[in-house]
Structure 1
C-alpha cells in the first residue's frame, strides 16, 4: 500500500475516488481532471497508478480498493463520490459497500457479467448505489441502434428515446451536396444539423453554411422522423436482416441476444469452445460457430460475402480492425468495429472502417453526466452526455427544474455563447426543433451541442 502523485492546483469540483486504473478508469480521469474535480485513483498495480499520476494532476493510492484502510488513505471520509471500475464485478460492488459504510459519498459500480443483468435494479437498490454501468451492454445497445439505421455511422438517443442524434457522411452526388443549412431547413422542420466535420475542422453550422460531399454531418430529429429524413436525402433506411459477429465475450452475447430477440439472424464466431457451447445454450436462435474469426476460409463458409452487417467484438483492437478491413474488401456489409484502447486514433480514422464503437467512452460519458448533475446548481440537471467528432464537440441534455435566466425568453433574444446550438426542446412527450420564437420552460428537457466543454447547468449556455 502506498501513496503516489501530487496536486499542482486546488480543485474546485467534487472529491472523487476512482478504483481501477484500466481503460474506463483512465478515460474518467482524462475527462474529470479537465473539469477540475479533485481525483484520487486506487489500484493494486503500482505501475498503473504511477502512470496515471505521472500523466495527470491526481493523487494515487496503491492497494485493494475494497479495503477499509486503503479507502481511508484515499480520503473516503471527505469524498463526494467513489467510482469502482476494476475488472471484477464483485470487487466493484464490495468497494461501494465498504464506502457506503465508512463515508457519506455516492457510489457507482461497473458490473459487466450477464448473470447479473436481470438483477441490476435489485442490486442497485439493496446496496444504495447511485448508478451501475455496464460497458458491454451499453455498447451492444449503441451497435443495435446503428444496425437499425445501417447508413448511419453513429446513432444515439436522447429524451428517453424520443429524439435521435445521427451521424452520416454525405456521398458524392447526394442532394445535400451544395445545399445550405437554411435551404435544408425550408425542406424539413423536423431536422436540425448540429455539427459538421470537414478536412478535420469542426463547424457548428449557421444558416448560410454550405454542405459538401464528404462532410461528416450530425443531425438531431424526433426518433420517428429519422428514417423519413434519410429516405428524403436518398439513404437506405431498412434495418439489417442478418449479422455476423466475431467475438463471443459479454458484448458479443448482449448484441446477439438483442438482435435475435428482434428477429435478426445472427451468426456468432468465437474460438473458445466452452464459451460457444454456453452461448448456444443461452441463445438457441443464434448460429454459434467455434472457430478462429481471422480464418478467411471460415468467414467465407459462414457467408461473409452475403452478410448485411459484420461486427468485430474480440478483445484485440488490432484483430478487430484487421477483420473489418478484410470484410470491407470482400463484402458490402455494414461494418462496426469495437475499439477498447485508443492507439493510433488518427490512423484509424483514415481507414474508413464504418462505425467505430468505444465502450470506455460510452461508460465514462454516463458517469460524467452524473458527476455534472451532482455538482450543478438546483436549477437544472445533466440528463445525458454524448461526445461527437473525437470528443471535440459535446451534446448535453439538461432537465430544467425551475425558472432561470434562460426560461420564458424567446431563444432569439438569449445571448448565447458562440459555437453553440439549442437542438431540441422536449416538452410533455413531444420533441420540438426550436425556432427563434420558442421559449425554454420549467419542466422541459433541452439538448445543446457545443464545442465548449464542462457544462453542468443550463445557464452555462449564456455568453
Structure 2
C-alpha cells in the first residue's frame, strides 16, 4: 500500500515504525525539520518537510495514487482539513485523529464521508474506554475486549505465590476439565524476547503473561495466577480534560462513586454543572494535603489524566502509598510508558499509542477487524473476519502450518467465544483472534485473505 502520514509526532512516528515491519510505501509529512530527521534516520521511509494542508505538498507526495492518508497532527481542525483536501485530490481512504469525542458521538448526524473523511479516531474516547476496562478487571494489568466481551485479552505479571509458577502450559491446562483460556505471549524477567508459548513453555516468577479467554475463563485464570478482582466502588480522578470528563461520565453511569479534582476554577465550575453525579473538587491534585483531605486513602481506584505525565505519575505514587488498590496514570512520553512495570503504578496508558493501534487496523490486510499492541511485550493481537475461501478454513488448526511465532488464541462463532485447540476447524464468518510477533504478521494475513 502507498500510505501518506501527516504529522511526525509520536503517533505518526509510532505508526511509521509499526509499518516498517512490512513492505508498505510510506511518506511522512511534517513542518518540523527535527522530527523528520529523527524519523528519517531510524526508519526506511520518505519524508517531506512542508504543510500537509498545502495542495502542492500533497501533490508532491503523490496523493493521487495514495491508498490511505492518515492525518495525526496535534490539531484536529488541521487533520480534518488535510483529509478533506486529500480526498478531493484522489486519496482512496482518509483517517483523521481528533480530540473532541463529540464529533464521533454525532457521526450519524454529520456525513463525514461526504466531506472526505472515512474514519475519525478520538484519542480521548479510546483512553477512557481503556480505563473502563482496567477498572472492570482489577486483577490484571492490561485488558481488552473483542466482540463485546465474547473474548477477553488479559495481561498480568506472575506473582511469587502463583499456583502457575514453575508449571508448563500443559500442566496448567490439566488443572481444569474444560479449558476456557489460552496463553498467547510470555516475556521472561530480564529478557527482551517475547515468546509465543507452546505446551512445554514454562511459566516463571515475574514473567509478563498474556491470555485470551472467554468470560468463563477469567475465574480459571484468577485461580492459576492467585490474583482476584477487588471490588472497585470509590474512584478519584485527577484532571478534568476530555479523558477525565468521559471517564467520569462512564463510571457514574455504572454506579461508581466518583470524585474529580480540577485545578482550573472555571473548568471545575463547568464540570460540576455537566456532571451532576460526580463530586467535582476545585484544587491542585499535586498537593498531598488536598489528596489527604479528600480521603484518597479511602479510594478503591485513583486515575490521573492531567496534561503532565510527571504530575500523573507522582500523584499515583502518592495514592499507592496511601493504600489505593488500583492506580492508572496517563503518560504522554512513550519512554515513561515503557517503564510501567518498574515504577510502582499498576497501569500506564498512552493515548498516542492507543490512537496508532486503532488506526493501524485500517492498514492491515486479510479483513482485520481489530488490532492492539501488548504493553511491554513485542507482540500484536489481531482479530480477523473469515471468508469462505480463506486458507484458514481448509483444515483443522494443527494441520494448517501456521507460523511458529503466532498462535490462534480464540474464535467467536455466533457471538460466542471459543478457545480452539489443535483439532478445531475454523469456519466461514468466524471471528479469529491471533497473537503473533510483528515479523510474521504478513504470513498470518495470508491465511485470512
What is the TM-score with the length of structure 1 in the denominator? 0.89
Does 2:136 match 1:148? yes
Distance 1:198 1:232 in 2: 18
Distance 1:413 1:114 in 2: 45
Partner of 2:38: 51
Q: SS of 2:156's equivalent? A: strand
Mapping of residues 211-360 of structure 1, within 5 Å: 211-227=203-219, 229-230=221-222, 234-343=226-335, 347-360=339-352
Partner of 1:84: 71
Distance 2:347 2:245 in 1: 19
Does 2:435 match 1:449? yes
Partner of 2:185: 195
Q: Is the 8 A contact 1:120 1:132 kept in 2?
A: no
Q: SS of 1:363's equivalent? A: helix
Number of residue pairs matched? 443
Runs of 4+ in 1 over 6 A off after TM superposition: none
Q: Is the 8 A contact 2:411 2:418 kept in 1?
A: yes
Distance 1:131 1:199 in 2: 39
Change (3 A) 1:271 1:364: same
Let me know the Cα RMSD of the aligned residues: 2.3
Mapping of residues 80-119 of structure 1, within 5 Å: 80-119=67-106
Partner of 1:178: 166
Deviations 1:138-163 (A, max 9, x none): 11101110101111100001234311
Q: SS of 1:406's equivalent? A: helix
Q: Is the 8 A contact 2:337 2:350 kept in 1?
A: no
Change (3 A) 1:242 1:110: same
Does 2:146 match 1:164? no
Unaligned runs of at least 5 residues, structure 1 = 1-13, 374-379
Distance 1:30 1:144 in 2: 28
Partner of 1:376: none
Distance 2:118 2:103 in 1: 17
Change (3 A) 1:328 1:435: same
Q: Is the 8 A contact 1:196 1:218 kept in 2?
A: yes
Give 1:224 shift.
5.0
Distance 1:175 1:341 in 2: 36
Give 1:241 shift.
0.5
Give 1:309 shift.
0.5
Change (3 A) 1:430 1:345: closer
Does 2:18 match 1:28? no
Q: Is the 8 A contact 1:398 1:457 kept in 2?
A: no
Change (3 A) 1:454 1:91: farther
What is the TM-score with the length of structure 2 in the denominator? 0.92
Q: SS of 1:223's equivalent? A: coil
Partner of 1:5: none
Which stretch of structure 1 is more off in the superposition, 452-461 or 40-49?
452-461
Give 1:294 shift.
0.9
Distance 2:204 2:33 in 1: 50
Give 1:402 shift.
2.7
Q: SS of 2:393's equivalent? A: coil
Which stretch of structure 1 is more off in the superposition, 41-50 or 432-441?
41-50
Give 1:213 shift.
3.3
Q: SS of 2:243's equivalent? A: helix
Distance 1:147 1:370 in 2: 28
Distance 1:321 1:48 in 2: 26
Partner of 2:59: 72
Partner of 1:206: 198
Which stretch of structure 1 is more off in the superposition, 127-136 or 242-251?
127-136
Q: Is the 8 A contact 2:340 2:348 kept in 1?
A: no
Q: Is the 8 A contact 2:406 2:440 kept in 1?
A: no
Give 1:443 shift.
1.5
Distance 1:274 1:176 in 2: 52
Unaligned runs of at least 5 residues, structure 2 = none
